[in-house]
Structure 1
Amino acid sequence: MIGRYSFLQVALVLFGAIFCLVYPLALVWPSGWMWHEGPPVASHYYVMILGIYLTLGLMLIRAAANPAANRSLIWFTIWSSVVHAGIMAVQAMQNPEHIGHMLGDVPALLLVAVVLGVLMPKADIDVRAM
């Protein structure tokens, strides 16, 4: 039977791959994944975000091999996703042209936070027992 720890490993690889694919997502659905007009690389900030998410995605994929040794990275991903989604949700609600984010990157980031948060073992639980 597959335990919670194995599901965590799968989730880390899956979310890591999705973070690596933010650029293609922006090409397919710009209103849900970009905050500017034009192609994704037309904005300096967006290129920076792409670089950060690509790096985070690769690190999450690597963390899947040993999640217990990468707890800080995983918790950073959880909490930074909540904060990022919250800020984007407020900004999208204040600007109707960005309301597509309420169906795109905002729920995607909250999904990452919830799934990883539920699957992360608590500090006092022996992960080998999972």
Structure 2
Amino acid sequence: MIGRYSFLQVALVLFGVIFCLVYPLALVWPAGWKWHEGPPAASQYYMMIVGVYATLGIFLIRAAANPAAHRSLIWFTIWSSLVHAAIMAVQSMQDAEHIGHMLGDVPALLLVAVVLTLLMPKADTDDLVIQSKG
């Protein structure tokens, strides 16, 4: 039987891979994943975001091997995704040109936060710590 620990591991790998694919997502669906005109590399800001998310993605993939040892990274991912989604939601509603983000990166970040929150144990004594030892 697959438990919450296994689902958390799968989610970490899946979200890690997606975070590493922010640049290609902007090529495929620019209205939902980039905030500037022209190709993704035309914006220094966007390339900084690509670098930060690719780095986070790699660390999430690595954290999947032992989520209990990487709780702070997982909680950082949850909270930073919520904050990022909230800021982008406000910004996209202020500018009709960017409303596509309400169907792209905003719900994607909210999904990351919700899924990881539901899969994370609520206390150090929860099954995640026990599972990581066995």
**For the superposition of Structure 1 and Structure 2, which TM-score range results when normalised by the shorter chain?**
over 0.9
For residue 126 of structure 2, what is the aligned residue in structure 1?
125
**2:81 is aligned with 1:81:** yes
Task: Quote the Cα distance in structure 2 between the aligned partners of 1:49 and 1:24.
Answer: 13
Q: How do 1:74-113 residues align onto structure 2 when only pairs under 5 Å count?
A: 74-113=74-113
Q: Which secondary structure state, in structure 1, belongs to the residue aligned with residue 54 of structure 2?
A: helix
Task: Quote the Cα distance in structure 1 between the aligned partners of 2:127 and 2:34.
Answer: 41
What's the CA shift string for 1:22-63, capped at 9, x where partnerless?
A: 000000000000000000000000010000000000000000
Q: Which runs of 5+ in 1 are unaligned?
A: none
Backbone CA RMSD of aligned residues: 1.1
Identity of aligned residues (%): 81
Count of aligned residue pairs for this structure pair: 130
What's the CA shift string for 1:54-95, capped at 9, x where partnerless?
A: 000000000000000000000000000000000000000000
For residue 5 of structure 1, what is the aligned residue in structure 2?
5
Q: TM-score, normalised by structure 1?
A: 0.97
Task: Quote the Cα distance in structure 1 between the aligned partners of 2:28 and 2:83.
Answer: 25
